[in-house]
Amino acid sequence: PYYVDINQNLFLEAYLHSSDPNLVLFLDTCVASPTPHNVTTVTYDIIRNGCVRDSTYSTYYSPYKHIVRFKFNAFQFVHSSPLVYLQCELAVCRAYDYSSRCYQGCITRSKREASS
């Protein structure tokens, strides 16, 4: 666990350990939850489907394509324990495969029409 104050910058780095130099790492989704095992019911989206949802989120330059660096401000869920659990989903792709998830960026899904 990391102990931080509310609104303190929280810096994270994801690193892909691989001997293949032609792999790219992409941060697709990061959600926070007040519980460690349920990240679907009560969650706060930091980034979802490559789209930034938290105004304090920003990426940092990495000289390596197998390292992703980012930050956001620490927060606490209202009326909850002071703990916040973070779960992130990353994609690993072949470098320069522009049809892969890593090169698609933010994906917004169009809403479907409700049937009568």
Which of 14-23, 31-40, 88-97 has the lowest average pLDDT?
31-40
Strands of 1-116 (E only): list them: 9-15, 23-33, 44-48, 51-52, 58-60, 67-73, 85-94
Q: What is the DSSP letter of 63?
A: S
pTM of the model: 0.83
Contact 11, 22 (CB under 8 A): no
Domains within the chain, CATH numbers bracketed = 8-98 (2.60.40.4100)
Higher-pLDDT residue of 81 and 6 is: 6
Query: What are the backbone dihedrals phi and psi of residue 26, each rounded to the nearest 5 degrees, phi first?
Result: -135, 130
What CA–CA distance (Å, rounded) separates 90 from 104? 13
pLDDT for 36 equals 81
- Kindly report, residue by residue over 25-80, the tens digit of the pLDDT: 999 999 998 888 776 777 899 999 999 999 999 999 999 999 999 999 988 777 77
Q: In this structure, which amino acid lies at residue 57?
A: Y
User: Shortest CA distance to 28 belongs to which of 94, 80, 100?
Assistant: 100
pLDDT for 77 equals 78
pLDDT for 100 equals 95
User: Shortest CA distance to 27 belongs to which of 91, 101, 109?
Assistant: 91
Higher-pLDDT residue of 3 and 50 is: 50
